[in-house]
Structure 1
Amino acid sequence: MGRIRETAGGLALTLPSVALNGVLVYVVIVGFGLWAAIIMLVLWTGFGCGMASALWFHPNRGRAAAAYGFRKPVGSEPDILATAWAEVTRKAGVDGWPYSLWVQQSATFNAFAAPARMVAVTSWAIESLRPRQLAAVLAHELSHHLMLDPRVRLLDAWFSVPTRVVRGIGAVPARAARGPGTLRCLARAAIATALLVAVAFFLTPRIGGPAVAVLIALLVLEPLTAAARARRGEFAADRMAVHLGYGRELHGALRRWLPHETAHTSALLAARARWLDTHPPIRQRLKVIRRTAAT
């Protein structure tokens, strides 16, 4: 029953993203004409073919890693990562060779499960964590890969292209907001509201008021559900790492970074983080890890 509930909840959180992509395609077809729709579909298909070729059929992991800001392990890093990875994949019962290990040069605690079966950790994690704690972090990232077939991951990335393009366009004016955290958050909210009003004003004569209302509602709702889906994925990967036998080590690794986690100075920033952050607060993750280990 719990697994059914988890699956149903995950599917429910994907619906706004699927609906928004469909509405965006509808807007182009109805609002801008057949040729605009054909051009969009050709570009979308071409991008999907190029992405599949680069990340699946003929993966060039070096270029993909560079695009994500990763570098090759150097010095003692290859041996450290290889030893930890061999232990993790042995415990998980999977072949580790299809995966490639990378490093992000950063003084923060983070790790990544990127397309084309890439796994990356920050240089801080390699330098600061104990071997078993580093293995626990790698187990968490391997869990992300195991929970979702890489072909499904590629399809998800391709189908989400329209939404990503709209997000990118909307983020351009928001980057101009400056000032302390609370003021910057308010400024970005004001810019987002102004953009939504402009979209409604521009599109209503073309596609009608009801369609615009649905579009605006999805533009507001989709970032919230996408962030919630990402947070669920983090909790699920933590639980799988615990089941692989790394509960105590993952708990210890997260506790090492807990003093560095940003403390929100206002209720507004805390609310924004609660609804829009893609990673749960470390304290929440620690509770889930303890609860999972106790069951």
Structure 2
Amino acid sequence: MNAHVRQESESAGPVLVARRTTFFVLIGDLVVSLPSIVLSGWLIWALSAQVGDWLVVIAALVWPVSGACVLLVGVLVAGATAQANRSASPEHAEVDDAWAAVAVVARIDGSRYTPWVYDLVSVNGEAYGYATAGRHVVVTRHAFDVLTRGELQAVLAHELGHHLLGQMWLRRLIKWYRSPADLLFKLAVEVVSRVALLVQIGPRWIAHRLYRGPRPVILLGVLVVAIVPTAAVLGSGWALLAVSTRFLGLPTTLVVVVVLVAQPFARARLSQWQEYGADRVAVELGYGQDLRGVLRRQQADWDATPAENRLLAPLIHTHPSPENRRRAVEALELQRHRATADDQPS
């Protein structure tokens, strides 16, 4: 008998833990995103007011319900994509079998979810699978090719954890209603980045020409290379701040800037916490050893990434490093074994 199936009687725990955690996940996502949601509503109203009062009325009626339409379209597209991939993928039968085994262990109705294979090497450059709002559980073709059956089930159990930890549709709605402010912030960052890239061309040419010159000239070149891009970035940032102040006022603009800058870091921490929570569900279902195998495979890809990306990962990355996740999984396994040993009759 499969070792995971033998642990069926112990599997109610992770489902209950996940349901208790769902409320805090959703509240955390809402609190972190609330400033962007409010700013997005204000942007929709302000832009509509520039056209006419009639558009303000239309926006006030359409914007609050637009999320439901976007969610419906997203679910339909995800379903159509799943159906197309399943019909074209001979591997989906094995994924179905692996998902059925996970569903038995988790004591859930597996038919309520649709597992399928996506023809990608990885998702976001790191993950072997993902979960969607349409109750889809997706693994990449690369994951299917390189993972053992137990590791494939561990990935599916992890994605099940995401479904249990938070309502995917509600998180999709939150993302939609904050999207105008997020787009504005990304546009501002892109403008500043482009300016910095353009103004670096001249100083780099100067530095290359003066590299073999006298030491005072080299020092002057270094100052030019350092100061000019910095001044350009600060200048473009100041220009964006001045334009924003014209419409929002200085106090409101400063608050908006601080909040928008802080939000990506807060969202990254929330996303990392969700990954640890999904790992916990997989461990409680008995897939800890297989999940560690998956994380060891991901660590090789992680080690190949630039060092500066790994340095900033704890602040801005949606996933913790595979090594940190592996250590957390080992700690959870140890706790689980101790709890099992304590429950054994003496």
What band does the TM-score fall into relative to the shorter chain? 0.7 to 0.9
CA distance, structure 2, for counterparts of residue 139 and residue 190 of structure 1: 50
2:252 equivalent to 1:211: yes
Which residue of structure 2 aligns with residue 284 of structure 1? Answer: 324
Which residue of structure 2 aligns with residue 93 of structure 1? Answer: 107
2:271 counterpart (230, 235, 241): 230
Q: TM-score, normalised by structure 2?
A: 0.68
Identity of aligned residues (%): 25
Structure 1: unaligned runs, 5 residues or longer: none
Count matched residues. 282
Which residue of structure 2 aligns with residue 135 of structure 1? Answer: 153
Query: Residues 89 and 279 from structure 1, CA distance in 2 versus in 1: closer, same or farther, beyond 3 angstroms?
Result: same
Which residue of structure 1 aligns with residue 173 of structure 2? Answer: 155
Q: Is the 8 A contact 1:113 1:145 kept in 2?
A: yes
Greater per-residue helix proportion: 2
The CA deviation at 1:160 is: 2.6
Higher mean Cα deviation, 14-23 or 276-285? 14-23
Structure 2: unaligned runs, 5 residues or longer: 1-16, 198-203, 205-225, 336-346
CA offsets per residue over residues 43-95 of structure 1, 9 Å max, x none? 53463132233346xx34344659xxx93364541221011000111111111
Highest Rg: 1 or 2?
A: 2
CA distance, structure 1, for counterparts of residue 37 and residue 298 of structure 2: 37
CA distance, structure 1, for counterparts of residue 234 and residue 80 of structure 2: 37
Q: Is the 8 A contact 2:79 2:134 kept in 1?
A: no
CA distance, structure 1, for counterparts of residue 313 and residue 299 of structure 2: 16
CA distance, structure 2, for counterparts of residue 151 and residue 164 of structure 1: 19
CA distance, structure 2, for counterparts of residue 49 and residue 6 of structure 1: 21
Query: Residues 161 and 107 from structure 1, CA distance in 2 versus in 1: closer, same or farther, beyond 3 angstroms?
Result: closer
Q: Is the 8 A contact 1:17 1:163 kept in 2?
A: no
CA distance, structure 2, for counterparts of residue 189 and residue 102 of structure 1: 48
Which residue of structure 1 aligns with residue 41 of structure 2? Answer: 25
2:73 equivalent to 1:44: no
CA offsets per residue over residues 207-230 of structure 1, 9 Å max, x none? 211000011001100111111111
2:78 counterpart (53, 61, 76): 61
The CA deviation at 1:265 is: 4.4
Higher mean Cα deviation, 219-228 or 160-169? 160-169
1:169 counterpart (169, 177, 187): 187
Q: TM-score, normalised by structure 1?
A: 0.79
CA distance, structure 2, for counterparts of residue 25 and residue 60 of structure 1: 26
2:122 equivalent to 1:81: no
RMSD: 3.8
CA distance, structure 2, for counterparts of residue 192 and residue 130 of structure 1: 49
Q: Is the 8 A contact 1:234 1:280 kept in 2?
A: yes
CA offsets per residue over residues 90-122 of structure 1, 9 Å max, x none? 111111122222222233452111221111111
Query: Residues 165 and 91 from structure 1, CA distance in 2 versus in 1: closer, same or farther, beyond 3 angstroms?
Result: same
Q: Determine helix, strand or coil for the equivalent of 1:279.
A: coil
The CA deviation at 1:198 is: 3.4
The CA deviation at 1:200 is: 1.6
